[in-house]
Amino acid sequence: MSGELLLSPYLIILLFFFIALIYSSVGLGGGSSYTALMAILGFGTTAIPMISLSLNLVVTSIGSVQFIRQGHGRLKLILPFLITSVPMSYLGGALQLPKAVFYWLLFVSLLFVAARIYLWQETAFKLQLNQRQMFLAALLSGSLLGLVSGIVGIGGGIYLVPLIIIFGLGSGKEAAAAGAVFTFINSLAGLVSRLQYNRVEMTEYLPLLAAVIAGGLIGSYIGAVRFSPKTLEKVLGVIILAAILALGRRLISS
């Protein structure tokens, strides 16, 4: 787990543990923060999405089971998003992008994540859409989020959860369950695709895997934390902002 910044491996493992714990408590995989942190540490462009998708897969598999067992999972809610997201995630994983293009896509993706965390906080409003419009919006949203998931390893749950509430499709718990299932299935599709075209020695990253399993188990079991999820999201958003600055400098100097 070498990187451009000299951080203790134990500190890196601890960071991944807390990311998994906090995000899994609200039905997310933490892919945006994993990806951002690995970009800061200088992980390779092939390794970043594969590791992030793998960690997403583990955390959201735990979260999906927990939320479904509690009766919050609704197939009718998540299915329209999955129809387009799964093939697009697979396509994104198959794309062999030049390093510069990958970094630009990651940079733009993280900008949107930062805007979602710090600027787009109000999800109380709901769009007045009929069933056909909602279905089409779900198909379009799913395709975009699936493509991003496959390319850069951000599962898309961080966007999907508030979208479900804005579309008026479900409650907060149902949205969290949908976010976990969505991220799990799309991470699986993107990872399967990438494994056909790329090879990364994953044994080197087993400590990270163990950390997110522990964090995911604790976070998804809790289901909610004492602190506001939005407050915790802003704290973890510092990692996103640092990655944006690091990538920005890299892109400007290249």
Sign of CA dihedral 135, 130, 163, 60: negative
Q: What is the mean pLDDT of the chain?
A: 80
pLDDT band at 197 (very low <50, low <70, confident <90, very high): confident
**pLDDT tens, residue by residue, 161-178:** 778 877 777 777 788 788
pLDDT band at 93 (very low <50, low <70, confident <90, very high): confident
User: Which of 120, 101, 91, 106 lies closest to 154, judged by CA?
Assistant: 106
CA 193, CA 89: separation in Å to the nearest integer?
A: 8
**pLDDT tens, residue by residue, 11-39:** 889 989 988 888 777 667 788 888 888 88
- Kindly state the percentage of the chain with pLDDT values over 70: 86
The whole-number average pLDDT for the span 111-118 is 82
pLDDT of residue 95: 85
Residue 157 CB-half CA count within 13 A: 35
The whole-number average pLDDT for the span 183-211 is 84
**Which residues are within 8 A (CB) of 181 and not within 5 positions of it... i.e. 6 or more apart?**
60, 64, 67, 68, 73, 78
**Which residues are within 8 A (CB) of 40 and not within 5 positions of it... i.e. 6 or more apart?**
3, 5, 239, 242, 243, 246
The DSSP H or E segment spanning 219 is helix 206-222
**pLDDT tens, residue by residue, 5-18:** 456 788 889 989 98
Longest dimension (CA), the chain: 53
The whole-number average pLDDT for the span 111-122 is 76
Residue 85: pLDDT over 90: yes
Task: Write down the pTM of the prediction.
Answer: 0.78
CA 127, CA 79: separation in Å to the nearest integer?
A: 20
